[in-house]
């Protein structure tokens, strides 16, 4: 796998093939494919000289057909099982293999590079061990152990039960040809699917839960929490009432959930469509550079079936039901799969931030008023109580800021009248013990916000290295947003409005309410996250971006 990744990293395949120029394209393709095969041969020889020498000595490329087929199949299978990996090289791999299935290219190469992706079913069927899939213990052997909210003893027991089931199945169904290790590997592969679904599908379930718990479809709680949007206002290209927008968001999240639930199947269909020798592509300028526009009949049929299922499930459908696939919006199946791989990258940070706010709400006490439940706090208090404003005041001379409402105070923060760092606002001075203290007013009341492992020089890097005391964060949330509940609803309302408003393009064909346009609007909202008043809360929750983790194998 590392050999393939290294070879693709140094290759300039698409730069030299996907260009509009005179000359024989098949010859360019063959030359580039042979170059990649030569790089793979050299890397394999360098990593294991004896094995490489035995494989490649005095042999042509076509004589090592099986080796290259296995290497490229492993790369495709690895990407399917690990969508966050090979983000810079997978497209190059698929385009290379897409060109290799051409009859002209195959005649010049002298061998085929593409074989079907190896699945658990294929392996078990080959060894005659399909009966293991019918055993009742298969559910226990392939379950994912989720430790959240469980005592250690329960987690340990679940792990023990799972490993016991795996050992029992691997020994009970093994044969002379099918070793226990093969069955064990198949069971672990099935279990990987559950981990995939938890990371990709479950964020959609969480967002649907947030929508249904904090909002009602008929009447908004107040004007600030209304989901209504109007075309031309705040970049919106759609006009929906609160009720219509509620159902529009609900059906969109449900559609994403169903697509991600079947993403493995869709990915297999995409692989089949792209690598079909009878399904040719055209190199076209789509407005975003030259792209390979190719029809995907198998994938398109499956997506429309999922769409029909979602429409029946949600009972009412708002907006367009057009699925862009094989046009200038979504040129080919690879682009379609890549777009829906981004859904979890968008929703996971939001869900994590909301859960972080809920944790702060549960684990800390409100600073808005003694004995006042947080849920009873006015949504937009015009002034803070004297005690609270004295407690969280910026300094001795800043009397005006103490009487500002949370909304106006946040406006001052983001207009740079007040430091952006919430802890500079909450903790203007830190003593030698790492505890900030501010004394104000007639009663000499004070707040002490502690920093674990803190120091006076770490105030600008508190979210990176030091864990800030949750009481300080609670005071900041209360003072700036009116409490965790109000903050949570504000973030969700803004996301459900602005991320589903048809924005992100300059016409209704590229954005709007079509199936593809709904995801375009969500990406447009992500690009503006730094401008949001609640952006510091995202940073406090560990947010680093919507682009996923750093590339690595």
pLDDT-derived band at 494, boundaries 50, 70, 90: very high
Half-sphere exposure of 534 (CA within 13 A, CB side): 22
Mean pLDDT of 145-158: 90
Output 352 or 320, whichever has higher pLDDT.
Answer: 352
- Do 482 and 378 contact (CB within 8 A), yes or no? yes
DSSP 8-state code for residue 24: -
pLDDT of residue 466 exceeding 60? no
pLDDT of residue 46 exceeding 90? no
Q: What is the pLDDT of residue 399?
A: 41
HEC string of 493-518? HHHHHHCCCCCCCCCCCCCCCCHHHH
CA pair distance 245, 256, nearest whole angstrom: 16
Q: What is the pLDDT of residue 58?
A: 60
Q: What is the pLDDT of residue 245?
A: 94
Q: What is the pLDDT of residue 549?
A: 58
- Do 176 and 166 contact (CB within 8 A), yes or no? no
Q: What is the pLDDT of residue 59?
A: 64
Q: What is the pLDDT of residue 476?
A: 92
Q: What is the pLDDT of residue 57?
A: 66
Q: What is the pLDDT of residue 84?
A: 87
Helix (H) or strand (E) holding 335, with range, is helix 333-341
Instruction: Tell me what percent of the chain is helix, strand and coil, each rounded to the nearest 5.
Output: 55, 5, 40
pLDDT of residue 513 exceeding 90? no
Residue 354 burial (CB < 10 Å; 0-12/13-18/19+)? buried
Helix (H) or strand (E) holding 272, with range, is helix 263-274
pLDDT-derived band at 52, boundaries 50, 70, 90: low
Mean pLDDT of 444-473: 48
Tell me the percentage of the chain whose pLDDT exceeds 90.
47
Chain segment 523-541, per-residue pLDDT in tens = 999 999 999 999 999 999 9
What are the residues whose beta carbons fall under 8 Å from the beta carbon of 262, sequence distance 6 or more? Answer: 302, 306
pLDDT-derived band at 433, boundaries 50, 70, 90: very low
Q: What is the rounded average pLDDT for all residues in the chain?
A: 80
pLDDT of residue 194 exceeding 60? yes
Q: What is the pLDDT of residue 294?
A: 94
DSSP 8-state code for residue 49: H
Tell me the percentage of the chain whose pLDDT exceeds 70.
77
Output 517 or 223, whichever has higher pLDDT.
Answer: 223
Q: What is the pLDDT of residue 503?
A: 84
The total number of residues shown for the chain amounts to: 553
pLDDT-derived band at 447, boundaries 50, 70, 90: very low
Closest CA to 434 of 462, 454, 463, 448: 454
CA pair distance 212, 47, nearest whole angstrom: 55
Q: Where are the alpha helices (DSSP H) in 101-235?
A: 103-109, 120-127, 138-141, 152-172, 180-200, 202-214
Q: What is the pLDDT of residue 98?
A: 94
- Do 151 and 138 contact (CB within 8 A), yes or no? no
pLDDT-derived band at 420, boundaries 50, 70, 90: very low
CA pair distance 491, 225, nearest whole angstrom: 10
Chain segment 202-241, per-residue pLDDT in tens = 999 999 999 999 999 988 888 889 999 998 888 888 899 9
pLDDT of residue 548 exceeding 90? no
Determine how many CB atoms are found less than 10 A away from the CB of residue 383.
12
Mean pLDDT of 448-456: 38
């Amino acid at each position: 796998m590392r050999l393939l990744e290294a070879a693709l990293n140094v290759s300039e395949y698409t730069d030299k093939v996907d260009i509009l120029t005179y000359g024989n394209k098949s010859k360019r393709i063959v030359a580039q494919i042979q170059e990649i095969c030569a790089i793979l041969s050299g890397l394999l020889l360098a990593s294991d000289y004896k094995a490489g020498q035995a494989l490649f000595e005095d042999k042509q490329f076509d004589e090592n057909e099986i080796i290259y087929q296995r290497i490229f199949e492993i790369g495709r299978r690895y990407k399917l099982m690990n969508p966050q990996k090979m983000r810079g090289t997978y497209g190059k791999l698929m385009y290379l293999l897409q060109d290799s299935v051409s009859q002209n290219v195959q005649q010049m190469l002298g061998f085929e590079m593409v074989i079907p992706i190896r699945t658990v079913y294929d392996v078990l069927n080959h060894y005659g061990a399909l009966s293991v899939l019918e055993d009742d213990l298969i559910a226990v052997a392939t379950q994912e152990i989720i430790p959240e909210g469980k005592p250690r003893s329960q987690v340990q027991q679940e792990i023990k039960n799972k490993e016991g089931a795996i050992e029992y199945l691997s020994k009970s169904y093994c044969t002379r040809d099918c070793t226990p290790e093969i069955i064990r590997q198949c069971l672990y592969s099935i279990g990987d699917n559950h981990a995939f679904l938890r990371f990709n599908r479950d964020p959609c379930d969480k967002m649907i839960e947030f929508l249904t718990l904090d909002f009602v479809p008929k009447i908004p709680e107040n004007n600030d929490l209304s989901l209504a949007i109007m075309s031309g206002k705040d970049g919106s290209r759609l006009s929906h009432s609160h009720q219509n927008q509620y159902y529009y968001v609900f059906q969109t999240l449900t559609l994403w959930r169903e697509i991600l639930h079947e993403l493995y199947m869709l990915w297999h269909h995409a692989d089949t469509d792209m690598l079909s020798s009878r399904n040719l592509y055209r190199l076209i300028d789509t407005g975003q550079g030259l792209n390979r526009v190719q029809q995907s009949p198998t994938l398109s049929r499956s997506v429309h079936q999922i769409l029909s299922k979602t429409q029946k499930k949600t009972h009412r459908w708002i907006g367009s039901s057009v699925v862009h696939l094989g046009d200038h919006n979504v040129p080919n199946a690879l682009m379609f799969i890549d777009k829906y791989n981004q859904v979890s990258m968008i929703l996971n940070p939001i869900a994590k931030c909301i859960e972080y706010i809920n944790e702060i709400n549960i684990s800390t006490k409100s600073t808005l008023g003694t004995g006042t439940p947080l849920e009873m706090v006015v949504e937009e208090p015009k002034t803070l109580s004297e005690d609270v404003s004295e407690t969280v005041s910026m300094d001795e001379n800043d009397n005006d800021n103490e009487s500002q409402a949370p909304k106006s105070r946040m406006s001052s923060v983001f207009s740079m009248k007040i430091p952006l760092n919430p802890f500079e606002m909450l903790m203007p001075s830190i003593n030698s013990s790492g505890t900030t203290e501010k004394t104000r007013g007639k009663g000499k009341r004070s707040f002490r916000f502690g920093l674990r492992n803190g120091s006076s020089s770490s105030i600008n890097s508190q979210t990176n290295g030091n864990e800030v005391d949750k009481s300080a964060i609670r005071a900041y949330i209360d003072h700036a947003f009116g409490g965790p509940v109000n903050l949570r609803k504000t973030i969700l309302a803004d996301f459900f409005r602005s991320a589903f408003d048809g924005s992100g393009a300059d016409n209704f064909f590229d954005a709007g309410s079509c199936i593809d346009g709904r995801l375009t609007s969500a990406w447009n909202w992500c690009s503006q996250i730094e401008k949001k008043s609640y952006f510091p809360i995202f940073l406090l929750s560990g947010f680093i971006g919507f682009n996923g983790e750093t590339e690595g194998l």
